[in-house]
Amino acid sequence: MGIRKIYIGLLFAMVCVSFGMPTGAQGQVIWNNGPYLTNGFGLSIGWNQSASTPFRFALTDDFVLSSPATLTKLSCYGYMTGNVNNEPQVIAGYVRILDDNNGTPGSVILGDWVTPLEVSEEFTGDTYSTFADRPIYRVTIQLPNWQLCPGTYWVQYNVDNNDIRPSNGSLTGNYFSTLTPNPPPEANGYHYAVFTDTYFILDDPDTGQGNAPPFFLEGDACVAPGDFDEDGFCTVADVPAFVDALLSGAFEPCVDVNGDCEMNGRDIQAFVQCLLP
């Protein structure tokens, strides 16, 4: 009998004497780059469809994963000038994930500027400063369950908008603008020109510093590998969920107990060792 079968048999034996049916941590905020603002620098990231450049710019910033994760959503905030009736204007989102190249954006590993992603749009109840025609929305972009190993990455995001500015029917200037804060010294975000494939700093005009655009990533991650009931420890109560997730074949971060971003017999051994006193 192989070692994998031995460990599986041991786990199933544990299931028989364990209690409860814990659930894995799903849908939590994995990375928060800051809350939305009602004042600050307005940076356009979307463009109306009828323009020659459907989406000229994207925001780019880094994020860090301390454990394997599955990304399911990206949410950002912004306003559209002239949206006096608070009508939904965003029709699609675009997201790319890049690797890290010594503290700068590297090569694209997930996503593209071709495949539109489903979006939802929610009015926050606030407007940009005192401008009544600039309502601020939270836009949530659905990600296709992207799996990432621990490490540093960069995310680029962009939205596509309805052609017509609601206030006057204009086909120009109907773009989504996000508000960013005064740059803290450590901020390193970029504005990215999509069609020229060039970066320029999200700068304070006086200092040339980077910036930190507000967004957050949601998904499925595991703070403590093997911990399915989120009590911070790997215990016998986690056994049923571990076995179910392992046998499902779908990647589950909490099953990856040994942290190699794979689900296999080595995780069974690591999980059993985690249970031992």
Query: How far is CA 171 from each of CA 44, 77, 165, 179, 188, rounded to the nearest angstrom?
Result: 16, 22, 6, 23, 33
φ, ψ of residue 84 in degrees (nearest 5): -70, -25
pLDDT recorded at residue 164: 65
Question: For residue 85, what is the DSSP state?
Answer: T
Within its chain, how far is the Cα of 172 from the centroid?
30
The mean pLDDT value for 104-129 works out to 91
Is the confidence at residue 2, as pLDDT, over 60? Answer: no
Q: Which tens digits make up the pLDDT trace of 235-258?
A: 888 888 888 888 887 778 888 888
Q: Which tens digits make up the pLDDT trace of 47-83?
A: 545 555 455 688 899 999 988 888 999 999 988 777 7
The pTM (predicted TM-score) of the whole model is 0.78
Cα gap 227→209, rounded to integer Å: 40
Paired tokens of 77 = 């905030």
Closest CA relative to residue 58, chosen from 163, 162, 151, 196: 196
